Structure formats: C-alpha cells, structure tokens
C-alpha cells in the first residue's frame, strides 16, 4: 500500500483547481506576556512580531500551491488594507486572484490572534478578534460571481467549495454552482458550513465535515465507527453524493461511497494546533482526485497531510515532499533517518549549537556498491553529521531516463538508513540539490572528483558562508550504471 501512496504523491502533477469560498486573512501577533496589567487582571503582551497568513478558502489555496496545483480564487474581499495584504499573500503562491471581487460595504474577513509565550516556553493563543460580515451578497455581486464561475469552469479539473457561512455561498448560488459543475462533468468537493443544513450541497461529489459538523447535520453524536458509518450513509443518500469523508481527528476518517464504507485510520500525533487541518484535507483530496487516484488512496493521503498540519502552529501548508517523507519514514521503521526538510533543519540547528560540523552530499544511490560505501566513508571523515540528499524517483527519471531508478526511493532510503556513516536523509524532487543545500547550509559539501570540471552545484553558496567543498576519489569501474549494464549483459548471455 505504501508504494501506491508514494507513487501517487510523487506524481500529483499540476492540476487546476477552482476554489470558491470565504477568503480570510489570518493575523498573528506574537509577544511576551511580561506582566499583569494594573488596569485589569489581564496579561500585558509586548508585541515582537506580526505575521499574516491566508485563511479560510485562502488557506485551501495555499495548500494547493504547496502540493503543486494551480489554484483559481473566486470570492469576495473588502476594499481595505486587509484585502490588499491577502491579495499579496495569495499572489505569492502563484495563484490566480482575478476572481476576487472587492465589496465596499463589507470588510475582508479577518481573524486576529494574540499569541503569548506560556511559561516563557510555548506559544499560547490568548484571544482571537474577528472582523467580518455575514450578510448575503447583493444580487449584482452574486451574478458577477456566477458569471466568473461559469467562465472558469471549463478551464479547471476540480471545484472546491469552502463554506464558512459568511454570506457568500447562499443556498441558491451554491446549488447553481453544483448544477453547472455536474453538467460540465467536474468533481465538486465541499467543506461544509457549521450550520448543519446541508441541503444546498445536493448533488455534489463529496463533502468533508468533521465530527462536530456531522453530528449537527444528522442530529446524533458521532462517537465511534458505527455512528460514523450511520451518519455517512445518511448524508450520502440524502444529498445524492458520490462519497462522504468524515474527519475524526485522532481516529482518522470515515469514508463512505456507494460501493464501500470503512474507517481509514491515521497515526497518533502530538497535536499542536488544529487550525487549518480541514483546509489541508480538502486541498489534498482535490489534488489527489484530480490526479486520478481512487477514493481510499485520496483519503489516506489526506489523513497524512492533515496529521502533519496539526503538528504545526496556525494554518500552515504541507508540501508533497513532506507527505512523501512521512510515508517513507513510516515504512523505514521507527528509527528512520529520513527527515522532511523542515524537521531536518530544526535538528541540524541543534547540532550546530553543539559545534558539530555538518557535511552534505547528494545522489541517486540506486544500486549500492563498494564505490558508494567508500564515498560515504569519505563524507564521514569530513565532519560530524552527514546529510544525504536523495533524488526522488521522479528526479532520477529526469536525470537517468525512464528506466531508472531500479529501486524506488523508499527502498533506497531504507538501505542508506542502515549505514552507520549516514545520519540524515532528505528526499528532493528537483534535478539538482541547490534548493536543499540552501536550507541545510552545510559546512562541507562533498562530491565526486569527476565534478571538478563540471562544476559542483552549491559551491558558491557554501563557500560564501565560509564552508568548503571536498572532492572524493572514485573507485574505478564502480558505478550503479556500470553494475546495471553488467547485469543486463549477463542476462543477455544466459
């Protein structure tokens, strides 16, 4: 199963997704809670940093971009500073914002969170201040929205409706959008409003309510797999859906289709913040289904993506690379050396504080041989911590051709993890490792001596930071390509 998951997440492509919904600006004000106010029994927050993120439907857009999809935004914002900031953040994701209409009579929906340090150690949300209008759109604005929707529909692969009940997705507009999408043979994914009245989603492809929202919609509490199954079955038939995905936090998700119904479990997590988890699930489902995968695979990937997201603070994005690393790490054992980039960077910072020398090298490491072992041994001699950038399967195909790699990235990472001279492995998709090198910031960059004339990728960056490049002697006649060709020759002779 893990091979199918990995193959899917590394081949999501660049689907076009139309996101319709309530676009919001999330504002985070970070500071130290230094004392109690003399005016009232409340903490005084000394602001150190202000951060802006895309929220609501904007969070879905950010997650789609992180997964490699192209998002088209369709919604309403205010003619105000928050709207300008939100448009700027969305533009930086390379998403199309021409479908964001400005309304002079309503503000950009914003959620301002004041974040203090709990016991001077951990971030803790102290209060949230919301600015919004939930009034229905004017008839003129609703018609503009519908016109833009019809114009975009033929260009996209999937439609996402992200409904926060802020007055945009009215019953009539929602129903009409679903009708048009069905007529155009487009899948419609709905993250429903918390109101409990789901009748306006009739005929959509799938809805993705959480436990609380589902309970409100069906009129009974979702406490276990049995009640989840009963609720999913009711929603599936009542709304004439293709599927229902009920997210059940630490238990995973319940998937119901016309053919099957089953619990899709997830790995236990250290939940830091559930903000944005539903947005991540919707984005992953949309991208996976657009790539042509089945319901079960799509939900499994969404579980993984949502799980990674809740370990981050606030509404955060999750990349396809992080999902792939999670899959690889799960199947390499609990002591896997495989790390997602963000996790790797944090661990390397800890090593730097201990004055450890970070060594980086990269390669395909497809069919391991003596040359690889001596090469990695050379890396170990150059410092304290050896990080291997491992080319992903898609990256190897780009470099070596469609018949490579012989061993997939999970198998290659497991073999490398077994070597004592390797401390960490990070899988990257690009043809060269420059992007990864800039994040790792190694003290020593190692390549084979055959790169002396070709030019070592990352040399300028490493040397500009006071680091150095070391060229390893190659073992003559030993290479993966030579080994593979010899095996082919033996097979042909036999």
Q: How many residues does the chain have?
A: 494
3-state secondary structure 428-462: ECCCCCHHHHHHHCCCEEEEECCHHHHCCCCHHHH
pLDDT at 118: 56
Q: How confident is the model at residue 478 (pLDDT cuts 50, 70, 90)?
A: low
Q: How far apart are CA 92 and CA 461, in angstroms?
A: 24
Q: Please state, in angstroms and as integers, the Cα–Cα distance from residue 406 to each residue in 1, 368, 400, 483, following that order.
A: 19, 11, 11, 11
pLDDT at 324: 78
Which are the catalytic amino acids?
Answer: 279
Q: How confident is the model at residue 159 (pLDDT cuts 50, 70, 90)?
A: very high
pLDDT at 435: 93
* Mean of pLDDT values over 306-323: 77
- pLDDT surpasses 50 at 334: no
* Mean of pLDDT values over 379-400: 92
- The DSSP element (H or E) to which 40 belongs, if any, is none
Pick from 155-169, 239-253, 254-268, 291-305: least confident: 254-268
Could you read off the pLDDT of 5-15 as tens digits, one per residue?
A: 877 887 888 99
Q: How far apart are CA 267 and CA 419, in angstroms?
A: 27
pLDDT at 119: 54
pLDDT at 445: 95
Q: How confident is the model at residue 393 (pLDDT cuts 50, 70, 90)?
A: confident
pLDDT at 142: 93
For the chain, give every residue range classified as CATH 3.40.1190.20: 2-25+55-105+134-331
- pLDDT surpasses 60 at 270: no
Longest CA span, the chain: 90
* Mean of pLDDT values over 432-457: 91
Pick from 47-61, 346-360, 446-460, 478-492: least confident: 478-492
- The DSSP element (H or E) to which 201 belongs, if any, is none
pLDDT at 125: 82
pLDDT at 43: 81
Q: How far apart are CA 137 and CA 76, in angstroms?
A: 9
- pLDDT surpasses 70 at 488: no
Joined tokens for residue 296 = 């079960």
Q: Which CATH number fits domain 341-493: 2.40.160.40, 3.40.190.10, 3.30.750.80, 3.40.50.620?
A: 3.40.50.620
Q: How confident is the model at residue 482 (pLDDT cuts 50, 70, 90)?
A: low
Tokens 């533009």, located at residue: 91
pLDDT at 212: 92
Joined tokens for residue 483 = 């080994």
The share of the chain scoring above pLDDT 70, in percent, equals: 90
* Mean of pLDDT values over 252-280: 78
Q: Which architecture does CATH list for 2-25+55-105+134-331?
A: 3-Layer(aba) Sandwich (3.40)
Residue pair 338/329 in contact (Cβ under 8 Å)? The answer is yes
pLDDT at 141: 93
- pLDDT surpasses 80 at 273: no
Side-chain-side CA neighbours of residue 262 (13 Å)? 10
Could you read off the pLDDT of 164-188 as tens digits, one per residue?
A: 999 999 999 999 999 999 999 999 9
Residue 207 CB neighbour total at 10 angstroms: 26
Q: Mean pLDDT score of the chain, rounded to an integer?
A: 88
* Closest residue by Cα to residue 251 from 237, 236, 271: 271
Give the 3-state secondary structure of residue 250. helix
Q: How far apart are CA 211 and CA 199, in angstroms?
A: 18
Could you read off the pLDDT of 236-260 as tens digits, one per residue?
A: 999 999 999 999 888 889 999 999 8
Question: The pTM is what?
Answer: 0.70
E strand map for 37-152 = 43-56, 70-78, 96-103, 109-118, 122-131
For the chain, give every residue range classified as CATH 3.40.50.620: 341-493
Give the 3-state secondary structure of residue 226. helix
């Amino acid at each position: 199963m893990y091979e199918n998951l990995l193959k899917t997440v590394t081949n999501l492509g660049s689907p076009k997704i139309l996101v319709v919904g309530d676009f919001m600006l999330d504002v985070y004000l970070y500071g130290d809670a230094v004392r109690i106010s003399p005016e009232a029994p409340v903490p005084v927050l000394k602001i150190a940093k202000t951060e802006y993120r895309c929220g609501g439907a904007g969070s879905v857009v950010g997650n789609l971009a992180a997964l490699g999809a192209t998002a088209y935004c369709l919604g309403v914002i205010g003619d105000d500073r928050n709207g300008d900031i939100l448009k700027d953040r969305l533009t930086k994701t390379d998403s199309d914002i021409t479908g964001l209409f400005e309304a002079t009579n309503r503000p950009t929906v914003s959620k301002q969170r004041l974040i203090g340090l709990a016991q001077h150690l951990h971030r803790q949300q102290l209060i949230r201040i919301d600015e919004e209008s939930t009034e229905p759109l004017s008839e003129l604005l609703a018609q503009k929205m519908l016109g833009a929707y019809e114009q975009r529909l033929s260009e996209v692969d999937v439609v996402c409706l992200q409904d926060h009940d802020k007055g945009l997705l009215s019953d009539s507009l929602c129903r009409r959008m679903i009708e048009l999408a069905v007529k155009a043979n487009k899948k419609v994914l709905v993250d429903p409003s918390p109101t409990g009245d789901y009748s306006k989603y009739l005929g959509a492809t799938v809805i993705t309510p959480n436990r609380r929202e589902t309970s409100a919609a069906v009129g009974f509490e979702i406490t276990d797999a049995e009640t989840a199954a009963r609720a999913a079955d009711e929603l599936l038939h009542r709304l004439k859906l293709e599927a229902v995905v009920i997210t059940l936090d630490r238990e995973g998700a319940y998937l119901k289709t016309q053919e099957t119904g089953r619990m899709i479990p997830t790995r236990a997590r250290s939940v830091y913040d559930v903000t944005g988890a539903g947005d991540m699930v919707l984005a992953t489902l949309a991208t996976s289904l657009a790539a042509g995968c089945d319901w079960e695979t799509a939900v499994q990937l969404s579980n993984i993506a949502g799980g990674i997201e809740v370990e981050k603070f606030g509404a955060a994005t999750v990349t396809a690379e992080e999902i792939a690393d999670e899959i690889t790490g799960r199947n390499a054992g609990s002591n896997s050396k495989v790390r997602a980039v963000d996790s790797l960077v944090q661990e390397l910072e800890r090593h730097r504080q201990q004055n450890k020398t970070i060594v980086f090298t990269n390669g395909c490491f497809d069919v391991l041989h003596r040359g690889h072992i001596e090469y990695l041994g050379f890396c170990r001699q150059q410092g304290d911590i050896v990080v291997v950038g491992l080319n992903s399967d898609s990256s190897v195909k780009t470099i070596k051709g469609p018949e490579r790699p012989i061993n997939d990235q999970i198998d290659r990472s497991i073999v490398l993890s077994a070597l004592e001279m390797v401390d960490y492995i990070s899988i990257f998709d690009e043809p060269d490792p420059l992007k990864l090198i800039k994040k790792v910031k190694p003290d020593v960059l190692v390549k084979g001596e055959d790169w002396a004339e070709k030019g070592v990728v990352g040399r300028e960056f490493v040397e500009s930071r006071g680091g150095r490049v070391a060229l390893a002697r190659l073992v003559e006649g030993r290479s993966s390509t030579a080994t593979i060709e010899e095996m082919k020759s033996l097979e042909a002779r036999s």
